[in-house]
Every structure is written in C-alpha cells, then in structure tokens.
Amino acid sequence: MEQKIKNIGVLTSGGDAPGMNAGIRAVVRACAYHKIKCTGVFRGYQGLIDNDFEELNARSVRNIINRGGTFLKSARSRMFMTEKGRAKAYENLLSQEIDALVVIGGDGTFTGATIFNKEHNFPIIGIPGTIDNDIRGTDYTIGYDTALNTVVEAIDKIRDTANSHNRLFLVEVMGRDAGDIALNAGIGAGAEEILIPEENLGTDRLLESLKRSRKSGKTSSIIVVAEGDQIGKNIFELAEFIETNLEDYEVRVTVLGHIQRGGSPSCYDRVLASRLGIGAVDALIDGKKDIMVGIKDKKITFVPFDLAISGENEIDIDLRRVADITSI
C-alpha cells in the first residue's frame, strides 16, 4: 500500500455488548504498537457528525478490559442514515485527518459502513460486536459468550425456586431473529423445551412435551423462549395457554431483558475482542477495506461486509438434537 495510515478512528455502534471495551483497547494499543495515532469517536456514527472526537493513547484504555458496555458510548444515528449526515461525517473525518475507521457493532453498523464507503471511498474495517451472534462469516461475535453465561446463571437461580415449588417457568431471552442464545443457553441451563424464531414446533408438540416431562417424573420445568412472537403468542399469552390446557401447572414468566447486555466480559470475549481489534488494525495497514474481521476455526478471517450481513440465521440441526436428547 502506497499511502501509509497515520490516524485511525474507532467507534462502537448499535446495541452495546460486553467485550466492546476490550475491542477498543486492542485497537488503541495496536495503533500505539504500530505508532499510528488513534482517535476515539463517541456515540457511534453520530459522533462523526457531531465532531465528538478524542485522541486515545495506550494509557487511555487502562482498566477497561474487564468492564461491560462501551466507554465510547453507542447510539443509533438517524442523521447518519441520510446522505447529508454522512457527508458531514466525511467532512469531519477529513478535518480531523482520520484516514480510516474501525467500527464495532452488528449488521446495522456494517450496513452503514458499506454505504459510507461507497459514497466516500473511506477505508473501514468492521468488528462483530453483538450479543446475538447473528453475523455471517465469523464463528462468534463479541459479547455472545458473556450473554450465554449471564442467561445460564440467571436460569440456575430460577431453577432453585422452580425445584422448590414444582413450578413451570417460561424464561424469555434475547434474540428477535436468531435463536442462538436461546438454543445454547437452553441446553446449558438444562431447559425442558426451547422455542426459537427459526422454527415453529407448534403448540401441540409443546403440550405433549410437557405432559411427557411430568410423566417421566420431572417435578419442575423451565422453557426458554427467544423474544418475539412464538407459536403466534407472546410469552404471557403462552403462559396463559399452558395454564388453560394443562392441569395443575403453576406457570411463572421471567423476562431477562437488558441484564443480558451487561456484565464483565468472559475470558473468551476478552480474548476474541483483543484478537479482532489487532486484526482490524493489521487489515488497515495491509490496505484492506470494506470488510469485517472475524474468527473461523480459531483463526482470524476477513469477510466482505455484504456477506457478513446477508442471509438468514439457520438453526444448527446438531444442537437441536442435543437439546432434544438431553431434555429427555
């Protein structure tokens, strides 16, 4: 590459995820290592428009690897969805003499990056940071592993009380379009049933399964439900449906909500974020652009943005079978 990168901007965008701070830290320190200036951009793409910049050095990011959230803050920017907003952002990048961007976020973030690059031919590398694990081209996204542990720990607590009372619990977890959290955390938490958006097993199977559970001697049950409609019902309607159709079932609903986005990141998420942050800076130095850096088979990989955000989530048939067998 002829033109040397001298100043890399870094931002987090979209929903926050545990490990984003570790990712920012890695970008900042990789810049320090390569003697490249690093500029933090606050509140995602909106910060580009609002000129919300701050130079970051190796010491700026100390003691953040263990913290949830993102110290650069995140936001969804409506202005960045307009051509005018993006033009303003480009202008600000130029006047700050920022040569390239690393953006940490999910599909919305990458979509924005692709459009911005098309319009302004500006080098951007994406890092997948979202608890939903719904990005193609990477085995894992930053924050997903932590969210799984958070969900499993929460359900372990619910199980204490479920066991004590012979109750049925419906637990709603995040994942509007992707059932990864529900399926993995459901297996990990020993759930009796797992309802995910990628498949509709129908109400009959659910009732049959609950009847079978009780018959087999189970005295309490936990059903993990990915958020959004399930079997055409929300989780409270589902609870009512079960109470109506099965005798002697006391059903309780828990919506885990935003605790799933927070918490100190797991070791895996910290290491992943560190690797991807360094990989992103390496990629910019190598002249790459318009791609996401991901992890595949324990190795750093690069995927074009359009591929990363394409396609629908597919269930892992193998895992579905694991869920069915272990909940016998």
Binding residue positions for Mg(2+): 107
Window contacting a second copy (CB under 8 A); options: 86-94, 98-106, 115-123, 271-279:
271-279
User: Least separation, in Å, of the C-beta of 20 and a second copy?
Assistant: 8
Residue closer to a second copy by CB (options 159, 290) is 159
Q: Which of 4, 83, 267, 317 is close enough to bind a second copy by CB under 8 A?
A: 267
Q: Which of 69, 106, 108, 175 is close enough to bind a second copy by CB under 8 A?
A: 69
Q: Site map for a second copy, 20-59, x if CB under 8 A?
A: x----xx--xx-xx---------x--------------xx
Residue closer to a second copy by CB (options 207, 319) is 319
Q: Which positions make up the binding site?
A: 15, 25-29, 76-77, 106-109, 130-132, 159, 167, 174-176, 190-192, 218-220, 227, 252, 258-261
3-state DSSP of the chain: CCCCCCEEEEEECCCCCCCHHHHHHHHHHHHHHCCCEEEEECCCHHHHHHCCEEECCHHHHCCCCCCCCCCCCCCCCCHHHCHHHHHHHHHHHHHCCCCEEEEEECHHHHHHHHHHHHHHCCCEEEEEECCCCCCCCCCCCECHHHHHHHHHHHHHHHHHHHHHHCCEEEEEECCCCCCHHHHHHHHHCCCCEEECCCCCCHHHHHHHHHHHHHHCCCCCEEEEEECCCECCECHHHHHHHHHHHCCCCCEEEEECHHHHHCCCCCHHHHHHHHHHHHHHHHHHHCCCCCEEEEEECCEEEEEEHHHHCCCCCCCCHHHHHHHHHHCC
Q: Which of 207, 231, 300, 307 is close enough to bind a second copy by CB under 8 A?
A: 300
Q: Which positions make up the binding site for ATP?
A: 15, 76-77, 106-109
Mark whether 132 is an active-site residue.
yes
Q: Check residue 169 for interaction with a second copy (CB under 8 A).
A: yes
Annotated catalytic residue within 50, 52, 99, 132: 132
Q: Check residue 247 for interaction with a second copy (CB under 8 A).
A: no
Among all residues, which ones are annotated catalytic?
132
